[in-house]
Structure 1
Amino acid sequence: MQHIYTQHGTDVLQKVLDRRAREAAEEDTKRLRDSVEAAEATAKELQVAQGRWLTRLEDMRAEHLEERRLLREDVRRLRQEVAALKISRDALADERNELWAEVTSMCRVRGIFMGKYSNKNDTMFATAEHNDHVRGRLQQLQKENHELRARYDDELDHRARLQERMPRARR
């Protein structure tokens, strides 16, 4: 630079410096344009990705709303069933109490005293039902046993008859 300045003066030095500054500015401009293009490309990719994510979010939101609607319907239906079951339970309890009162009054007429209705009565009734069931099953098994013995005896008689015939056939 000093050589250019001493030989050609300030005008030439200014031109050389201007050219170098212009070249540096052009390189900076080119780099900035490349950076801007890369940033714009990245922004477009991000917008596309954002669009996909927003679409996915909307789909998930729609699925969630549909599932929520279905669950609310199920809850409403189940609550109605529970209410109906409670009504049935209450009606059966009322009927049980009425029947118990009727049985109690019939027992009093016959001179039989029974205590108040309680869970113990339910337990005794359940035990009696169970005993009846077991007794019925025992009778059924005894009947089946009797039938099986009869079949067994028939088969023994049949076998004996076959054995009697066999020696005759060999003669």
Structure 2
Amino acid sequence: MYKLAASIVMVSALVVLGSSVAASGLPSTNTPPADPLFNKISALDTAVFDAFNHCSEPGQLERHASYFAPDVEFYHDQGGVTWTRDAMIANTRKNVCDHFRRELIPGTLKVYPIKDFGAIEQGVHRFCQFKTGDCEGMADFIVIWRHQGDQWQITRVLSYGHRPNK
């Protein structure tokens, strides 16, 4: 009987201790706290590449272009550098539309604030052919976002480390 009572007391103490830790505000391993900047940049990434992935449809290439500053610099390890939005969009029209779509690799997106400017977005994405559905290539990327007023615009893009999809 004594062992049963001691076990009940011990279990009760663990339940109380667990409740106290949960209520103390200590970090939980279940869900990270909401990060408004991460959520904003993640939503912008989704919007930019939704337009990119549908750029052959009327108005979508223009919508995609609207996220980029006119003087955007785009550095691509295999394609070289473009120095303007117009040149970048011309390359997208020629090489992307009706050919492939971009997918963000889940869990790779990171966002860092840039004081008095905007944010750095970093991640890994893959590219999937429309004709076959095959996702043949992937690459690392960095996007620099400028925040002015209520507008976010991309000023620099680095797309590098292109390799076969693993």
Q: Tell me which of the two structures has the higher relative contact order, counting C-alpha pairs closer than 8 angstroms and 6 or more residues apart.
A: 2
Bigger Rg over Cα: 1
- Report the structure, 1 or 2, having the larger strand content: 2
TM-score (norm 2): 0.29
- Report the structure, 1 or 2, having the larger helix content: 1
TM-score (norm 1): 0.29
